[in-house]
Amino acid sequence: MDDTRRHLRQAAEAHQPDREAMLARIEQGMAAGPRADRARLYRRRRQASWLKVALAGIAGVSVLGLGGLALAAGVRQEAPQHPAPVTATPTAPTATSQPHASATTKPSASSGPSTPHRSAPPTVDGLNGLISARADINAHSIVYWSQNDLTLDVAQPLSALTVELRIAQTGGVQSTGDWRTAPPDDFTVTVTPSDGYVVYRWTLKPGRTIPAAREVFAAQFNHATGKRDASRDTFLVDATGAGRTGEIRGGFPAGG
């Protein structure tokens, strides 16, 4: 044991440390330490930067995806809605859609002399050609309403005139009015039932005259639903003009 200690002491005393080499190693260690630390710090920062970039990219994609969905939804919500076209199907007019004429309302021009008629009744002349008369059923008559027209062609002015239309009571006949082309203030008008007829009468007032022209007198009335037979309807014209006085009588055609 003593020998061992002696040999160790002798070896320690004989050892001469290389101070220069030790200082060089210390300097190398000190120089290498910061560079290694900086390298490790750089690697950590780089990894953190890539992680941030990746997270930012993922977030951006998510935002863009949500924005695209929101934009698509907005487009769908704001897109104009075009309703399907509606096709209207016309329906046939019913009898109740026809208006009734009234005593105070002048019918449309279609009821005047130029109105086409369902039939061509004969013309009756009177007073040596002073007046001619034609009786017919107005073309706008329907299954429950009718208008009987009497057209007078006056060759010379008349100083007196009475026009009478007698409408046979064929069922449900009830006056809805009358009409004439002459000024209404020139006539006294009456509508009265008499012996199975409804009688329309226009009488020219004293001091008034009828010029040489075409005049129309019309009786308007409701009747039982269906085609009405007008063959029993009649007319009477009593006139004075050019120093002559006389009358014209006639009837109406059966119907259109």
Task: Name the more confident of 6 and 110.
Answer: 6
Which CATH architecture does the domain made up of 107-251 adopt? Sandwich (2.60)
Instruction: Return the pLDDT at 97.
Output: 35
Q: Indicate the pLDDT class of residue 33, thresholds 50, 70 and 90.
A: low
Its pTM stands at 0.55
Domain boundaries, the chain: 20-75, 107-251
Beta strands in 196-254 (DSSP E): 197-204, 214-222, 234-241, 244-251
Helical spans, DSSP H, in the chain: 2-14, 19-78
CA distance 123 to 115: 16
Task: Name the more confident of 38 and 138.
Answer: 138
**CB 133 within 8 Å of CB 248:** yes
Q: Which residues pair with 146 in a beta bridge?
A: 221
On the question of pLDDT at 209 being above 60, the answer is yes
What average pLDDT does the structure give for the chain?
73
Instruction: Give whole-number Cα distances, 206 to 158, 182, 190, 210, 245, in Å.
Output: 11, 15, 16, 11, 16
Please identify which residue in the block is written with the tokens 């105070």.
104
**CB 169 within 8 Å of CB 221:** no
Instruction: Return the pLDDT at 187.
Output: 98
Mean pLDDT of 111-125: 54
- Residue among 100, 119, 232 nearest 179 (CA): 100
Instruction: Return the pLDDT at 125.
Output: 84
